[in-house]
Amino acid sequence: RQPAKSDKVLVAGTQGTSSLSTNEDSTKDMYAVEFCGYFPTDNPKYSIIVSINKTGLPASGGLMAGDVFKKIIVNLKQN
Q: How is the chain split into domains, by residue range?
A: 12-78
Q: How confident is the model over 10-39, as pLDDT tens digits?
A: 899 999 999 987 666 655 789 999 999 999
Of 70, 64, 67, the C-alpha closest to 33 is: 64
**How much is the pLDDT for 68?**
96
Q: Which residues contact 75 (CB under 8 A, 6 or more apart)?
A: none
Residues 34, 50 contacting (CB under 8 angstroms): yes
**How much is the pLDDT for 2?**
77
Q: How confident is the model over 39-70, as pLDDT tens digits?
A: 999 999 999 999 999 988 899 999 999 999 99
* Bigger pLDDT: 77 vs 40: 40
